[in-house]
Amino acid sequence: MENNENNIVSNTQHILCGEITKLVFTSDEGGYSVIRVRDEKGIEHTVVGPFSGAFEGQCVEIVGFWEKHKEFGRQLRAENVKFTLPKTPEGIKKYLASGLIPGIGEKLAECIVNHFGVKTLDILDNYSSRLLEIPGFGKKRLEMIRKAWSENSQKREIFIFLQSLGISIAYAQKIYRIYGDNTPSIVKENPYRLADEVQGIGFTLSDRIASALGIGKENIFRLTSGVVYCLKRLSEEGHVCYPEDKLIEYSSNILGVSDEKIKDGIENAIKEKLISKLSTPDGCEFRNALYFIGLEIAEKGAANALIRIAKSKKHRCSILKNINLNFKIPLNDLQKRAVEGVAIYPLNIITGGPGVGKTTVISEIVRRAKIAKLRVYLCAPTGRAAKRMSEACNHPAMTIHRMLKWEPERHSFIYNEYRPLNCDLLIIDEVSMLDIQLAYFLFRAVASETTVIMVGDSDQLPSVGPGNVLSDLIRSGIAFCTRLTQIYRQLSGSRIISNAHLVNSGVMPDISPVSSDKLSDFYWIDCDDPVDTAKIILKLLSSRIPKRFGFNPMKDIQVLSPMNKGECGTANLNIKIQSVLNPENLGRPQFRFGETVFRSGDRVMQISNNYDKSVFNGEMGRIVHIDYREKKFNVEFDNFTVNYDFIEADQIVHCYATTIHKAQGCEFPAVIVPVLTQHYIMLRRNLIYTAITRAKRLLVLIGSKKALSIAIKNVMIEKRYTLLRERLLGMV
């Protein structure tokens, strides 16, 4: 019996019992793995199937069919998997060090197993006092291990049950932490609860668990959770809402069920208050907008707050009209217009590209406000942007989150509509980064008497999070908007600035070679091969740029890629760069989370908002400490350090290389950007423009002229469904 590349050797089910010796491959989604299993006779076999929760050294009982693969030969295709406790010394070592037992790391696990061998688990179960036989093992440590092992014995079966469903130890710990001994019954009844209630477990894994439990595609729990998942996925692409008819079509394709079943899921999700529905009036682009939970509240709340501020009749900066002040430095007419507008209008926008004097205007406004003894707050979405703003204006600045002050006990910001910010003038930089949720938290905390100035480049990419706040605000016309156009910094000879404006106007940048005896801030390297491009990036990072320009590769040089996948995508580049800049042979502490190895010294980025830790999506830092015993690690961000458990490592990723989208609002001394035809799907003018404007002192573009030309010609802007503009205009 043949199925393309596979030959079934036997139609009879076979049972294989043994120990996992190697995890050969695990798919990104974790639903397909290739492992090596040593049976009871010592013979190794290749097994394929759902083994995402497995680890090397673990014992398994597998039911499946033998088949012959064209390329890889004889292998067992698993139909059913049962995990059991390990029986070999090596397996027991890995089991004890897996993170399941608090207080036991790799070194301690090795000491215990080296002393007791295959009897280790029996010793821990029944004769734990014998641990004192191990040299250097004291009573205090004994009590700690005894307690941890005793507590573990109650949940061991639960963990094995979860593993049999393809759940890793790390996620099993998270699940057990929430549901405790009720875990099996909750998971069996509705595994889709995990997607909503356990951080890191999304719909895809919940769906795989449900399938393993025999739950069908048309189950109402699946339909409801699936619709929410689809809407959440669309919000992660930038949409605040989505047309109902388009969501039905999108969800039907993702979930593999009929449109009618999707409608059932939508109806139930609305009933359960997981999503909301808005019937839009005539004049709107689409009808029946569906919102992921909370986003409609955010959009409506942000719109109401902005309208309130814009309509204020007594904003604090109006007193500047009565103060006769000269300009400290010469300004052009548009810059003067922006400065003087602050005294007239309560809601202001100052926009324009790099080098047009936005910072100069802000500095002048701050100077005037200080003379008038007004209370001035400066803020930005990221720590880097806030620091840059503070230095430029010689006035303290902070991130928006820290300005609003998160209160963990109440799970809310201290400053809100009931306790507004105590300032007369609020200036917000890098507003293009502002998503609808952060906009809501921010503007509801602004008093009606406060004058607001928003500063940003509307030609850059929109926010990583849902919404297109700056663009929607400009298009609504409710704020006094000044677009600065005259370029100043290019007079200093900056090719970065001049090329940024060329790209933004649809013209190919000046990529002519630079004389070898001169230094420039802009370089083009012609290379159309992704593999060779990756090699060049590594050479630039490790030697060429540091030697010629003196930049520190661990601190100063940032690689920005249009995509996550591919040879020059962030995922692959991060692995390669880590191996060069922070290799294992340095002997630094490290730990593994899933397929990722985190090492002391690694550059990392937070990829989700963690309000309790006061660290937010997009913040970059460095791993400074790893504690095996406590299974914790510390990340140092700008001026503060955050403590994580190992199981919280899903909140961070390496950022030696990051996407251009994720780099919004950040500036780096030196930037390297691959621009290849393999990035075709992402190549747009605003993407390249944003990448160029991230570099302060040095920019290196590597790629093909064809890819660069494609990007510059592509002015198509990804459509984001949002009704903020319509709300600001009173249409909704």
The token pair that represents 299 in the structure block:
């959009």
Q: What proportion of the chain, given as a percentage, has pLDDT over 70?
A: 95
Q: Strands 603-606, 652-654: parallel, antiparallel or unpaired by DSSP?
A: antiparallel
Short-list 607, 589, 608, CA closest to 597: 589
Q: Are 672 and 700 in contact (CB under 8 A)?
A: yes
What's the CA dihedral at 662, 668, 674, 675 to 10 degrees?
80
pLDDT tens digits along 524-579: 999 989 999 999 999 999 999 999 999 999 999 999 999 999 999 999 999 999 99
Backbone phi, then psi, for 675, in 5-degree steps? -130, 95
Q: What is the pLDDT of residues 466-524, one digit of tens each?
A: 999 999 999 999 999 999 998 775 445 789 999 999 999 999 999 998 887 788 999 99
Of 156, 157, 116, the residue nearest 134 (C-alpha): 116
Using CA atoms, how far apart are residues 6 and 413, in angstroms rounded to an integer? 57
* pTM score: 0.78
Tokens of 437: 């949720």
Beta-carbon count within 10 A of 209 CB = 22
Digit-coded pLDDT (tens) for 694-713: 999 999 999 999 999 999 99
Residue 193 · residue 202 · CB < 8 Å: no
State how far the Cα of 601 lies from the Cα of 578, in Å rounded to an integer.
10
| C-alpha of 558 from chain center | 17
**What is the structure's pLDDT at 451?**
97
CA distance linking residue 437 with residue 429, whole number of Å: 17
pLDDT value for 4: 43
Retrieve residue 531's tokens. Answer: 């593999």
State the 10-residue block means of pLDDT for the chain, 732 residues long.
Answer: 48 82 68 81 86 71 84 82 77 75 78 90 86 86 82 72 77 86 92 89 90 92 96 93 96 96 97 94 86 94 98 92 78 93 96 90 93 95 87 93 88 94 96 94 97 94 92 96 82 81 93 86 94 96 95 96 92 96 88 87 92 86 90 90 91 96 88 91 90 94 95 88 95 88
